[in-house]
Structure 1
Amino acid sequence: MTTRPEAEQRSLVLPVERRAEGDTTTVSGYAATFGDVADIGGYFKEVLARGAFTKTLQKADVRAFFDHDRGRVLGRTTAGTLRLQEDAKGLAVEIDLPDTSDGRDIRTLIERGDISGMSFGFVVLRQEWDESGEIPLRTILEVELREVSIVSEPAYDGTSIALRSLDSARKEKRRQNFTAAAYRLRMKTNLDLRIRSKA
């Protein structure tokens, strides 16, 4: 029985911009950037590969939250109040803020400079681990995007989940090495038997 991968969260501290057009206030920024190496709790480094969001953006119904709180919805892709685009830099986000207490609070907090981060919740679908350096490097190749958030305090959550992923990758590598070693031993034994039979 295969278990479904668990969700993780990553945050990015970059300017969140606000603009007003008529009665609508739109905030924009990046929830993720490609090629930037992040230190995940000192356990490993992580980088997002370009194209990691391509497939998920074609079909996902994504919501925007405040601080990953599912009860504080700010926008949704199917409603057109959240727009997501993968560009050369990363995952670009635009949210038309609602006229709610959260929407008004976020407008004020961005104007004051109190909020300067976005985040995204995701499940890793494809990844590579490189352990040739001192610290393992995880390259995320494809994700299932669950949500994006405007966050008051950017943080890295899901480290333990990713560490389990590293442990799984190490076990798979050991299994492959064992299989390859067994294959080489069989080949050597067959060759030895052929040489003896000719002698």
Structure 2
Amino acid sequence: MKSGLELKFAGGKPVMTEGSVIEGYASRFGLADQGGDVVTRGAFAASLKRVAGRGDKVRMLWQHDPTRPIGVWDEIREDETGLWVRGRLLPDVGLAREAATLIEAGAIDGLSIGYRTLRAHKDDRGRRLLTEVELWEVSLVTFPMLPEAKLGRKGRDDEPEHDELAAALVAATEALRG
């Protein structure tokens, strides 16, 4: 890959709200993706702070193509689960209208991060633990790398049963992986 850019896919179904608003998890902490990488809690914090300090934004791209921006991410933050994003597909961009149609039909349901690894190490199972990354972009993609990173409406703090269910599903997935 050019310039050290790495790509990570996190699948699921984005939720379309208010016409062109999408939200979900672009990355989930503590789960090994199909390439054996695990993003650790806090891996994005310094990068998000630097981006905000510059008054810049992480880009929203279509399939990691830098010539095909389709919207803007209005909110990106780490929470206890992973890297949560909310953004808008721009209706004046033809490809964004196509993306909205594909999302609504369920044909596209994944998010993927484009980043450069700043700090990582191997654990005793041979997995690469990403402890600090420089986040460049979050793309809408066809094929997710991390199927457990389901996208959808972010649960509110007054709905703890959603967090408990999500935690139970993640624990079950890890138990099945052995």
**Matched residue, 1:117:** 110
**Matched residue, 2:23:** 28
Counterpart CA distance in 1 for 2:75 and 2:111 is 14
Superposition deviation, residue 155 in structure 1: 5.1
**Matched residue, 1:151:** 141
TM-score, structure 2 as length reference: 0.72
Superposition deviation, residue 82 in structure 1: 3.1
1:46 and 2:32 are equivalent in the alignment: no
CA contact (8 A) 1:36 1:47 kept: yes
Counterpart CA distance in 2 for 1:71 and 1:38 is 27
For structure 1, the residue ranges without an aligned partner over 5 or more in a row are: 157-199
**Matched residue, 1:63:** 59
**1:43-192 residue pairs with structure 2 within 5 A?**
45-60=36-51, 61=56, 62-76=58-72, 81-99=73-91, 100-130=93-123, 132-133=124-125, 136-154=126-144
**Matched residue, 1:17:** 15
CA contact (8 A) 2:34 2:145 kept: no
Counterpart CA distance in 2 for 1:98 and 1:52 is 29
Identity %: 35
Counterpart CA distance in 1 for 2:144 and 2:32 is 16
Superposition deviation, residue 46 in structure 1: 1.6
Structure having the higher Rg: 1
TM-score, structure 1 as length reference: 0.65
Cα RMSD, aligned residues only: 2.0
Higher helix share: 1
Name which structure has the greater RCO, CA cutoff 8 Å, separation 6+: 2
**Matched residue, 1:172:** none
